[in-house]
Amino acid sequence: MPELPEVETIVRGLRLTLPGRRVTGVRLGKTDFIDDPAVLERDLPGQKILAVRRMGKYLLFDLEPADGSAGGASLLVHLGMTGRLVTAAPEEPEAPHTHAFFALDDGRELRYVDVRRFGRIALLAKDGAELSKLGFEPLEATEGQFADKLRGRRAPIKSVLLDQRVLRGIGNIYADESLWRARIHPLRLAGSLTSNEVRELLRAVKSVLAAAIRMRGSSVSDYVDADGQRGLFQQRHRVYQREGKKCSRCGTAIERIVIGGRSSHFCPKCQRAPRRARKSKR
């Protein structure tokens, strides 16, 4: 599923061709995941793509109106679980579940494909409050900023890592992998982490995200980048979807539990359970 490293890889790919292109037409299929389809069809054609950016797991295409005025709107795309953005020649057959076609002035098309339609497309006005609730960009956050976000929170650290208001862009894969690297059990209450643990966790988050970006993301189910290429970081996963396999540090079998409705993978030896959650052992 597309998390920060996957979205970053897609953004870097789209940046090679999209800036400077003008959208010449919009064609939509199913629209139940689009904020206001009529507005998109009416207002997007004619606008020029100035830049392609990422905020957490969101892609943002900064736009300039046809008349060159300073409109400052942006096209927002979230890939949900199964969303894909690909460029194609108009005559190329469309993949199943292709729900949006954006024709470009170089004769090509940007297409949005999404089996489950958990994604989102919206046209944002300039300075919309839309993304203001997002937390820090993980690769730029400081230890102090991260610590402030964790202070007093009584939810499991696993759930807090998934909370986009804390650090934006982390999903289930990188939450589990970060906690393993930092040797912190996913059920630990976020506010109970020591300052050493907070520091180690942020270091782990940054190193795992950076490594995943270098390997062009994780292709677990159906993620591919803007060129249709799979990522490679799934080869480096230490716990995610490795239940029953040996921990690469200590050889103990990886376990899976459900936290907040999400599966969580960890090493029961490297990541010591809080007292409250420890199973009685004889």
Q: Which residues are catalytic?
A: 2-3, 57, 262
**CA triple 188-189-191, angle to 5 deg:** 130
Among 42, 116, 126, 236, binds DNA (CB under 7 A): 116
CB of 156 to DNA, least distance (A): 6
Residues 176-215 within binding reach of DNA (CB under 7 A): 191
Residues 61-80 within binding reach of DNA (CB under 7 A): 78, 80
Q: Which stretch binds DNA (CB under 7 A): 11-19, 166-174, 194-202, 273-281?
A: 166-174
Separation CA 172–CA 176 (nearest Å): 6
Alpha helical stretches, state H, the chain: 4-14, 37-43, 143-150, 157-162, 172-182, 195-214
**Total residues binding DNA (CB under 7 A):** 33
Alpha helical stretches, state H, 27-101: 37-43
Q: Which residues pair with 102 in a beta bridge?
A: 26, 110
48 binds DNA (CB under 7 A): no
Question: CB-based burial of residue 203 (10 Å sphere; 0-12 exposed, 13-18 middle, 19+ buried)?
Answer: middle
Q: Which stretch binds DNA (CB under 7 A): 10-18, 36-44, 109-117, 274-282?
A: 109-117
Residue among 101 and 118 whose Cβ is closer to DNA: 118
Among 54, 57, 216, 237, binds DNA (CB under 7 A): 57
Among 26, 28, 50, 81, binds DNA (CB under 7 A): 81
- On whether the CB atoms of residues 139 and 149 are closer than 8 A, the answer is no
263 binds DNA (CB under 7 A): yes
244 binds DNA (CB under 7 A): no
45 binds DNA (CB under 7 A): no
Q: Which residues pair with 44 in a beta bridge?
A: none
108 binds DNA (CB under 7 A): no
Say whether 48 sits in a helix, a strand or coil.
strand
- On whether the CB atoms of residues 92 and 98 are closer than 8 A, the answer is no
Q: In what order do the strands lie in the sheet with 74-78?
A: 48-55, 58-64, 74-78, 120-124
257 binds DNA (CB under 7 A): no
Residues that bind DNA (CB under 7 A): 1, 3, 32, 56-58, 78, 80-81, 96-97, 115-118, 152-156, 159, 162, 164, 171-173, 191, 256, 258, 260-263
